[in-house]
Structure 1
């Protein structure tokens, strides 16, 4: 551990000692039992001690160690086993299954902690000169296998952790821009900005354990993207260290300077270099911030309402709607209310729904976020309220929205809790034009459920619309499978394959904001066409002819649903 640099635990999400608890959520055990057939109140599997792992020895040569120590100092050249294991994986389900089982394969030989732009330049040049593999590392939250070396890699593998480069360097208040180092974690960045009255407004689910550089490298999107935009909209300029040279892109509002180099770097996942800082859009902290909750008779009603909200004069901060099963999940995952009034309101709302003729098994919950001046928020709430009513929905106030705001970063802890109890839980997200929004939801759910029947296992999939655009929206699917057998990894691979192929078959993209890594790369030709993959391949080969920069990510020669680490590979 390096002082001042946060590090996640080796076997799961977040820090040691923090996790999910069901005891104060009386409806949740019954929900899980019904949907997946698992009793979460039974004793969980214990995590093996780290000492039980057979960690491969570091292959770092004395020569390269000496060179790196000369650049950074011995303190910032780490080769201890736990640090290497933590930096050898992201936090995807397959990552956790393998690391808990001791399937460590090709972990980094050394983890470096540069503290300046110049040190990153020297490190990259030294590693390329030694023909080593260089993998940038931010918060370690990646879930698409973008952080690990290829299994058969024989060269030295170097993980470069940018956690010491965590400062807001400058705020251009006149332009609404901030120059920020790439290794800063989300909360630390917002604390620095808010101290001066500013916010970037980018809040992905991984916010607590992800960094600015990671967001840019994976084309991240946040919960408030309807107002603030995706990271591709927010990032206006950047600095990236490449072998033997440094890319400097000034923070310009727009350019016509040929094919966009900025766009080439966005989503490049370390294949072109190490992003060290960026210029980003920032905004004054709004006077009012409010989340309102709504219900619709069905998910399809909610989808139509979200489209109409986007098309309206209400430029909301977020518009989210959950399908029927996810709505049941949200309601089952709520704490027992200590307030009789709160409880009566909940029963009263359900009674009203029944009176309206709603099927309580099909209702869809929605959250809409508003920001701005008090008068502006009132104006937007009026527009949204009418759209909700026109689509058969009803508002239920700020209470559920406040609860959502408090728990919005807790989902990965629930995933770990489920894995401890033999459940395979993961997510896949995509975007389609509005014309196919209902179709992809229906078809993906049907295909998943059919696969579960064929495999003879119990599972559930649910979904929410999370980000809206002029022409379409992102839908975010979560699935859980009851399989604690020796075939669990294959079951997971088959489920992931079915969902991703459904995306391809229903006018969607391979990923909206999780990136490509190795997990999604087999579908790239279907997504962007063979010619698109050809362009990407030539770009990577041209910048990195030695294949030193995070090789095997975004494009590789696998087949759909099978990564290089899959049992079918």
Structure 2
């Protein structure tokens, strides 16, 4: 059963060992767990639904609570403390594009706000219902999940947009293909969610980000059906795919998507290399990215993240032996770990890895083999369960991510970490903060920073701490010239910082696009952009509406 107020399957845990808890206590203080509100208490807060009856809509409190929020820290605070706030007035479960079209007519007729809901893994406030005059309907896409067509020659696969990552891969693997898109949320996020938030998978160096994988599809909008054909390339004006990518539910609901797939890899390996300090590690990984060797992944952890990962790994004696060996090789305090991945044809992938390791060693890297890489692969979708374990011991884990060109990578990393420390100091608290470069490009890198700090044990104070931290680190990103989001989207949490990136004309252009597809302003209001001024509600015809 999926957790209603945390991450993932409630039968899976990722315990923090005593040594790990001591590590955290030393850095931020002793944590004290809080008593979570029960699911029954949360459901008891749900107000009566304001929606007219419809055959596709469920209005029971339990289903509304489960679709009310995502996985951001403020979402967790609301769920754990039982301060849910506004919930959708109902949840619809369409099974086809025609069902979605029917729901759009319903929303236009009764002036209902629609929030598209895929896997519910948003960490940027995409799913929150705004308290206001409009009734809110959450539209789950998860029953539109079938592999509809697979073109072996063109290597194109068409899916219902609500397909979850594991189901998508299983359906492709049965035919010898993979999409290769593996965000950390892979197990619980959907193809449509990846597309409308511009997601990036952990092995994007080989397979590409979702914008390289998305070839076309169908989006049902209040203004009509947008059907995007697939082409290898086109010079025919504006690329409509780019309008759908990153639209975050403001235009309509994606019902099917055609993606570019790849033959399933016959070989895959992940190797760990350590460097004595950040400067040597960053120079080496930049050269690796710019060499374009055909790798699938490069992931560089700074010194504090490397120390933290080793401390939380368990197996204290084995880690001690590793640390002693690395120290003898010149990688002591401040060492940084680089994970290198290669996937695909056996000969090509092994050759790419050999080239990468040769270059890595030339830049002072200490190669320690595949064991840490195998462990990372084994746990890459389970490490996020640490959020649950940390909460139980009185700690919270939050993140921000950005991307900048190479000359600004280190300064951005330092500025974001410093902003976090200063923000929590205002509340008399320490924060344990660390960073990795999760996606590497010839031009620059993503900068992904994690924050661990103590719970106050009080909803208002914990929300105040988050707001102070989020505001400070987001402003630091803007001041450093970074994008406000490299892979998580904008939602409502990042929306205040978007104008600094897009400019006045750019923001107006986006608003005009959304107004064109959604003239009444019923699609996911308040996300990505401030609410687009709607036109007066029209009297939609009753045809196609099942009350």
TM value normalised by structure 2: 0.93
Counterparts of 2:393 and 2:18, CA distance in 1: 18
Counterparts of 2:427 and 2:279, CA distance in 1: 29
CA-CA distance at 1:412 after TM superposition: 3.0
2:51 aligned with 1:51: no
Aligned to 1:358: 331
Secondary structure of 1:174's match?
coil
**Contact 2:34 2:457 (C-alpha < 8 Å) held by counterparts:** no
Secondary structure of 1:437's match?
helix
**Contact 1:290 1:370 (C-alpha < 8 Å) held by counterparts:** yes
Aligned to 1:34: 26
Counterparts of 1:18 and 1:60, CA distance in 2: 37
Q: Deviations over 1:57-105 (max 9, x none)?
A: 23234xx31xx21xx4xxxx31111110111111111001012222222
Counterparts of 2:375 and 2:41, CA distance in 1: 40
Aligned to 1:21: 15
2:69 aligned with 1:96: no
Aligned to 1:236: 215
Q: Deviations over 1:331-386 (max 9, x none)?
A: 1222327xxxxx56x545433332344333x1111211111233222321222112
Counterparts of 1:141 and 1:429, CA distance in 2: 16
**Contact 1:218 1:515 (C-alpha < 8 Å) held by counterparts:** yes
Aligned to 2:370: 398
Aligned to 1:157: 136
Of structures 1 and 2, the one with the larger relative CO (CA 8 A, separation 6+) is: 2
Counterparts of 1:539 and 1:269, CA distance in 2: 13
Counterparts of 2:232 and 2:282, CA distance in 1: 32
**Contact 1:28 1:332 (C-alpha < 8 Å) held by counterparts:** yes
**Contact 1:483 1:491 (C-alpha < 8 Å) held by counterparts:** no
Count of residues in correspondence between the two structures: 529
**Change over 3 Å in CA distance of 1:104–1:485 after alignment to 2:** closer
**Contact 2:125 2:493 (C-alpha < 8 Å) held by counterparts:** yes
Q: Deviations over 1:32-60 (max 9, x none)?
A: 11222125xx7x43332222233222323
Aligned to 1:521: 495
Aligned to 2:61: 81
Ranges in structure 1 where 5+ consecutive residues have no aligned partner: 1-6, 338-342, 558-569
Q: Deviations over 1:204-224 (max 9, x none)?
A: 010011000100110100101
**Contact 1:8 1:86 (C-alpha < 8 Å) held by counterparts:** no
Counterparts of 2:159 and 2:35, CA distance in 1: 41
**Contact 1:240 1:247 (C-alpha < 8 Å) held by counterparts:** yes
Secondary structure of 1:526's match?
helix
**Change over 3 Å in CA distance of 1:58–1:217 after alignment to 2:** farther
CA-CA distance at 1:405 after TM superposition: 0.7
Counterparts of 1:8 and 1:527, CA distance in 2: 36
Secondary structure of 2:340's match?
strand
Aligned to 2:518: 544
Secondary structure of 2:436's match?
strand
2:126 aligned with 1:146: yes
**Contact 1:108 1:149 (C-alpha < 8 Å) held by counterparts:** yes
Aligned to 2:159: 180
Aligned to 2:224: 245
**Contact 2:223 2:519 (C-alpha < 8 Å) held by counterparts:** no
Counterparts of 1:46 and 1:180, CA distance in 2: 42
Q: Deviations over 1:234-267 (max 9, x none)?
A: 0010110011511111121221222222101101
2:442 aligned with 1:470: yes
**Contact 1:26 1:335 (C-alpha < 8 Å) held by counterparts:** no
Q: Where does 1:440-519 land on structure 2 (aligned, <5 Å)?
A: 440-486=412-458, 487-519=461-493
**Contact 1:125 1:244 (C-alpha < 8 Å) held by counterparts:** no
CA-CA distance at 1:154 after TM superposition: 1.6
**Contact 2:495 2:527 (C-alpha < 8 Å) held by counterparts:** yes
Aligned to 1:332: 311
Counterparts of 1:140 and 1:409, CA distance in 2: 16
Counterparts of 2:422 and 2:483, CA distance in 1: 22
User: Which moves more between the two structures, 174-183 or 102-111?
Assistant: 102-111
2:243 aligned with 1:264: yes
Aligned to 1:375: 347
Q: Where does 1:303-318 land on structure 2 (aligned, <5 Å)?
A: 303-318=282-297
Q: Deviations over 1:544-569 (max 9, x none)?
A: 12110001010128xxxxxxxxxxxx
Secondary structure of 2:356's match?
helix
Q: 177, 184, 187: which one pairs with 1:198?
A: 177
Counterparts of 2:429 and 2:138, CA distance in 1: 38
Root mean square deviation, CA, Å: 1.8
2:99 aligned with 1:122: no
Counterparts of 2:19 and 2:208, CA distance in 1: 36
Counterparts of 1:328 and 1:14, CA distance in 2: 26
CA-CA distance at 1:15 after TM superposition: 2.6
CA-CA distance at 1:407 after TM superposition: 1.0
Counterparts of 1:189 and 1:516, CA distance in 2: 25
Q: 116, 129, 150: which one pairs with 1:136?
A: 116
Counterparts of 1:390 and 1:439, CA distance in 2: 25
Counterparts of 2:249 and 2:514, CA distance in 1: 10
Q: Deviations over 1:378-424 (max 9, x none)?
A: 32122211221222211111110111111111233211222233323
**Contact 1:186 1:208 (C-alpha < 8 Å) held by counterparts:** yes
**Contact 1:423 1:484 (C-alpha < 8 Å) held by counterparts:** no
**Change over 3 Å in CA distance of 1:140–1:313 after alignment to 2:** closer
Counterparts of 2:92 and 2:234, CA distance in 1: 36
Secondary structure of 1:293's match?
strand
**Contact 1:424 1:492 (C-alpha < 8 Å) held by counterparts:** no
Counterparts of 1:433 and 1:521, CA distance in 2: 22
CA-CA distance at 1:307 after TM superposition: 1.2
